[in-house]
């Protein structure tokens, strides 16, 4: 659910850039900034504290927030008559978004094959409450 919400907010960012920017560019820029801040904060809530590093934060900012902002600038400032130029200039946004998907996939690989659960997400930690007690041997016999 956490990743689905992240992708929904990413799709909303691209919608804001594509549809709303034609009517009010400044309103679209503020809405885009708000949606991206919300996406970053929700992702920060979903990732457990021990697994959030400075490098991951920078990768998150560059790979998740930069592509919609870049596309907004591209749509606003580049002449639409040259389709090939626009397609070429839009390529970095697609590459960064695919890097974001690969980063998430690599980040969610379980620590060991015995567990099979990505312990990096807080929702998994909330659902798997007995696992830590079983590993430590703190199961009390009745």
Mean pLDDT in residue range 104-120: 69
Within-domain flag for 142:
no
In a domain, 122, yes or no: yes
* pTM (global) more than 0.85: no
Distances (CA, A) of 82 to 79, 85, 88, 137: 7, 6, 10, 67
Q: Report percent pLDDT > 70 for the chain.
A: 72
Which whole number is the average pLDDT over 42-49? Answer: 74
Instruction: Calculate the average pLDDT of the chain.
Output: 77
List the one residue out of 33, 39, 40 whose CA is nearest residue 9.
39
> Which CA distances in Å does 94 have to 19, 63, 89, 104, 127?
18, 10, 10, 15, 34
- Write out the two tokens for 41: 């904060």
Domain span at residue 29? 2-136
Is residue 45 assigned to a domain?
yes
The answer to the question of residue 49 being in a domain is yes
Residue 138 has pLDDT above 60, yes or no: no
CA distance 33 to 30: 5
């Amino acid at each position: 659910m956490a990743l689905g919400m992240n992708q929904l907010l990413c799709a909303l960012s691209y919608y804001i850039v594509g549809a709303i920017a034609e009517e009010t560019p400044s309103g679209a820029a503020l809405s885009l900034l708000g949606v991206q801040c919300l996406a970053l904060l929700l992702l920060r809530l979903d990732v457990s504290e021990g697994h959030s590093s400075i490098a991951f934060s920078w990768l998150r900012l560059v790979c998740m927030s930069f592509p919609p902002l870049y596309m907004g600038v591209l749509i606003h400032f580049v002449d639409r008559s040259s389709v090939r130029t626009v397609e070429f200039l839009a390529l970095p946004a697609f590459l960064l978004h695919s890097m974001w998907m690969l980063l998430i996939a690599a980040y969610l690989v379980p620590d060991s094959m015995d567990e099979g659960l990505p312990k990096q997400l807080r929702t998994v930690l909330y659902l798997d409450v007995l696992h830590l007690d079983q590993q430590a041997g703190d199961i009390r016999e009745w």
